[in-house]
Structure 1
Amino acid sequence: MRIRRHPQKKKGKEDTNRVPISTKSQDLLTERLDANVKFFTDLYKDSSDIVFRPFTIGNLKAVVIYLDGLSDIEKLDELVLETLMNKQDISQTDIIQSLIDSIPISNIKKISTYTECIDAVANGNPILLLDGAKEAYALGIVKYEKRSIEEPAAETGIRGPREGFTESISVNTSLIRRIIKDPQLKMKTFHVGKYTKTKVIVSYMEGLVDQTLIKEIENRLNRINIDGVLESGYIEQFIEDNPFSPFPQVLYTERPDVASANLLEGRALIIIDGTPYTLIAPVSFFSLFQSQEDYYERFWIGTFIRFFRFIFLGIALFLPSIYVAITTFHQEMLPMALLLSVASAREGIPFPAIIEVLIMELTFEALREAGIRLPKQIGSAVSIVGALVIGQAAVQAGIVSAPMVIVVSITGISSFLVPRYSIGLSIRLLRFPIIFFAGFLGIIGVILALIILVIHLSSLRSFGVPYLSPVSTLQKNGLKDTIFRSPLWKLDFRPHLTGEFNAVRQSDNLKPSPDKEEG
């Protein structure tokens, strides 16, 4: 597999993902409790949400440090403090043994450095410091507010599961584990961001994915050197092959069934803590126009809907520019009756067709964005009513013609058929330069824009995979699931984009046959 590698990090550049502790020896905890506590009190100065709880275990001093709002205080009081404070006249060895035997917490981790303690507190795990001990103990009693599992708002569907990812990475991984129960499902953890230290998990199916792909994803994640990661879009923009392309080279989803289906096809997931969107790599141009519902319905319906999407993709991308080209340069292409109707509608319009379409397109895009940003109760009403009122008023005022309003309306409706918001944004962006090509060169400009677009798509890669595969690479198995969706019983082989690993995914005798009448 061809992998396009990112440039290596420059030598001598400071690694901002490291905690600023000068030497390794200074990073180790000491046996003196007061010295350890002083380090943390100085570190968390003016941080009122960091709580220091000193107590004694027999004659031994101890301190628990936790972050208010991320740790379960009730379990800390009941399972830790109450258990340890009831012990009397015990030695240090007994305390360590009691931590293992007496505290009813399944997740207790021994740590020995300040860095590990800082990470534990930041993640909501209280740390227990003991006088005379060189180690601390991270107590796994995290508790913080999180959103319940709901239906995805950006990927609604008629048929299929109603549950979607949340902002909690542990919930998201459990949703995937609930679907794929095989131990070959692997999950590797990374932390990205100097200050946020955002948890990122790379998930894949061992034996189905190309390990070269996983290594490349890991290398690109390790090279990310920023202050923080607030959403999956940060990761996406740092790991894509061609950051200057308007087309997305990584797919994102908030549906566990979509993520699991891509895992079973040999792709990898990048799950980021704090966002419900999971990244999928690699992807192709055709996978951006596929919906999971295509597989839940019969293949005739799935094929018809996909074919419908690609037809309206062409309409959304080229209809305004074709209208501008014909009305400006190629009026002879229209039938006489239609030409007279368009000419009479445009009579008295003070602007040329290219200015007219730009006015309407920009207005439509402004209304669309206003509908998204406004509250849900009034957003849809503003976008629909605004389009009707402004369009009718513009026609009556003689600013634009009625055919132009129809063309822009059809174009806007066509763009809504794209199932992925990211590729829909690309179509909306590319529509404007194509209009300029048409306004200056006519139909030749539209054809030239199409050629440039195809050349650009052919040059794109998603983690080394050709963007137009399997059509550009003529992969027989992959062609069964592109514009046309073959029946599930004919999809015997896994449509690998990255290699032939465990290619057979089902038996070849699944074709349903009518029952034969007996006797």
Structure 2
Amino acid sequence: MKFLEKRKKKKIFDFPSKHLNESLDTLPEIPLDPELSKNMERLKSAYKDCSDVIFREFSIGSSVNAVLLYIDGLSNTEEVDQHVLMPLIRMKDLDCDAVFECTKKEISISDLKEIYSISDVFKQISIGNPIILMEKETKGISIGLPKWEKRSIMEPDAESVIRGPREGFIETLRVNTSLLRRKIRHPLLKMKQMTIGQYTETQIIVAYIEGIADTTLVNEVTSRLNRIKIDGILESGYIEEMIIDYPYSPFAQVLTTERPDVAAACLLEGRVVILIDGTPITLIAPCTFATLLQSPEDYYNQFYISTFIRWLRYMFFFIALLAPSAYVAVLTFHQEMLPTTLLLTIAESREQIPFPALVEAFIMEITFEALREAGVRLPKQVGAAVSIVGALVIGQAATAAGLVSSPMVMVVAITGVASFLMPRYATGISTRILRFPIMILSGMLGLLGVMIGITAIVAHLCNLKSFGVPYFNSTAALKVHNWKDILIRAPWWAMDTRPSLFSNDSSDLMREASNQKPDPSKGGDGS
């Protein structure tokens, strides 16, 4: 009240010059004035030079002046005209004391809210809800009619599968939450909403399954999000960088996905999913090293097929990380480890090469990385062709010019193919970054340098945590049920408990009758 008394000396409340540099959640609660003209002056002053903000003045019946306020492009104007303006203008004259309630009854929209302050007006129209303000009323009506252009649901390019769902998240938050609700229809799927960003006011949803997700984990995720103070959130990477435990680590500490089935599976494991309005990328916490090498398709194929592909993926992960370093170390310090015939062939190919093996490897790796990035940035129609043809042409030209040897081209090519087997982009970029320091160590110390590099990486991974969960906990914990989805993908009838790393509920995943191992002698149905 003291704040309002000080402002009575001025005819119009100077809202924009004083408070528009504040977040909408922290704006002072300036109540709506009974005089509609004062509210209009305040709002028009705040939205000065905003051509997309529409003020539609009209009369309810023929006695009460009112104004409809919305942002063009964010609200469904067709529904506003049909279900709001037309019924109100045609209303019969009523007692002024009953106009507000009669107005609410006349609007044939289910989502109606009462608002009481100027800041409430800003919040509601910014998310697409039109506002009605009336003469002699200190409250207004927010009408739930948001509508804006959105992208159609399609399969994510970065996480395509041969077998599995073909739908992916889009940039609209409520569409993404509906995709999750279609997967998990239980009322225990909770979705807490919050707003982050002083100017963007980006809506965030924290989704989890009550009773499965650990309450401590949910509270920790919510607490870290609430501590974020920033002007705006334009993509999930803003949030990821500010909530992880070790921001200087090259390894991902939050899982990212565009697939609703992956998010739903993580919710059933007891993890927390963070959905951000304006981006299809969803964050999942916590994250372990094993999850970064798992693909959604591992769970849609037969378990022996998935296990074989998973082993192949692990093997090529080490190839992608260590192949150039091992080649440089052996060629520089440990030639005796190579068969004589192979050693002579390599020596012959390197006879005209003016650079040592380390410099040669750096030239080829940097060139390959540049071609890879060029293929990503170019248009899709020519990107893949340019990257592949460029690699072939440059590799052949470099070999013919005597800058690099043929064995080095082959090693770099195998390394590049191995990096493409990584199911997560974050895993691939980590191996690409760490490949260079290990190459330097191998060029200086040989295989001893390679072992030092591996030891340093393993020590870092053992020290790494994601929201309190150790990065290697899934492989270090001596619990058999946690190993059923690490090195192998056990059959579904064998994975009868949830991972104890993320969930406080270790109950059976399936009913007892469904957990029986199939019996081929009885038709394979286990009955």
State the partner residue of 1:514.
520
Contact 1:15-1:225 within 8 A present in 2 as well: no
* Contact 1:207-1:502 within 8 A present in 2 as well: no
1:167 maps to 2:168: no
Letter in 1 for 2:131: I
TM-score by length of 2: 0.93
For the 8 Å contact 1:328–1:442, the answer to whether it is kept is: yes
Is the Cα–Cα contact under 8 Å of residues 195 and 202 in structure 2 kept in the other structure?
Answer: yes
Deviation at 1:507, TM superposition (A): 3.7
How far apart are 1:23 and its partner, in Å? 4.3
Q: Which runs of 5+ in 1 are unaligned?
A: 1-13
Q: CA offset at residue 17 of structure 1? A: 6.2
1:99 maps to which of 95, 100, 103: 103
Q: Confirm or deny: 8 A CA contact 1:16 1:227 kept in the other structure.
A: no
Contact 2:131–2:142, Cα closer than 8 Å, also in 1 = yes
In the alignment, is the contact (CA less than 8 A) between 1:213 and 1:463 conserved in 2?
yes
Unmatched runs of 5 consecutive residues or more in structure 2 = 1-18
Name the residue aligned to 1:231: 235
For the residue of structure 1 that corresponds to 2:193, the secondary structure is strand
Indicate the larger mover: 504-513 or 401-410: 504-513
The answer on whether the counterparts of 1:214 and 1:268 sit within 8 Å (CA) in structure 2 is: yes
Q: Distance in 1 between matches of 2:26 and 2:304?
A: 63
Q: Which residue of 2 aligns with 1:299?
A: 303
> What is the one-letter code of the residue matched to 1:398?
G
Q: 1:254 & 1:143 partners in 2: Cα distance? A: 23
Which amino acid is the alignment partner of residue 430 of structure 1? L
Equivalent of 1:19 in 2, 6, 24: 24
Report matched runs for 1:36-51 at 5 Å.
Answer: 36-51=39-54
Shift of residue 469 of structure 1?
1.9
TM-aligned CA deviation for residue 21 of structure 1:
7.5
Q: SS of 1:280's equivalent?
A: strand
Amino acid at match of 2:407: P
Structure 1 runs of 4+ aligned residues shifted over 6 Å read 14-17
Q: Normalising to structure 1: TM-score of the pair?
A: 0.95
SS of match in other structure, 1:55: strand
Q: What's the counterpart of residue 3 of structure 1?
A: none
Say how many residue pairs are matched.
Answer: 502
* CA distance in structure 1 between the aligned counterparts of 2:261 and 2:28, rounded to whole angstroms: 46
Q: Given the alignment, which residue of 30, 34, 58 partners 2:33?
A: 30
Percent identity among equivalent residues?
52
* Partner Cα distance (2:31, 2:332) in 1: 76
Q: CA deviation at 1:102?
A: 1.6
Q: Residue 331 of structure 1 aligns to which amino acid in structure 2? A: Q
CA deviations 1:395-454 (Å, max 9, x no partner) are 000000000000000000000000001111111111011100101110000000000000
The alignment status of 1:418 with 2:443, answered yes or no, reads no
Match in the other structure for 1:125: 129
Greater displacement, 98-107 / 164-173: 98-107
For residue 371 of structure 2, the aligned residue among 355, 367, 384 is 367
Q: Is structure 2 residue 196 aligned with structure 1 residue 192? A: yes
Q: Distance in 2 between matches of 1:303 and 1:16?
A: 55
Q: 1:493 pairs with 497, 506, 509, which one?
A: 497
Tell me the distance in 1 between the aligned counterparts of 2:53 and 2:73: 10
Matched, 1:54 2:60: no
In structure 2, do the counterparts of structure 1 residues 237 and 439 end up closer, same or farther at CA, with 3 Å as the change threshold? same
Match of 1:343 in 2: 347
Give 1:474's match in structure 2, choosing from 468, 475, 478: 478
Deviations along 1:173-224, one digit per CA (max 9) or x if unpaired, are 0011011110000000010000001000000000001000000001100000
Counterpart in the other structure of 1:260: 264
From 237, 240, 249, the equivalent of 2:244 is 240
Correspondence 1:84 to 2:88: yes
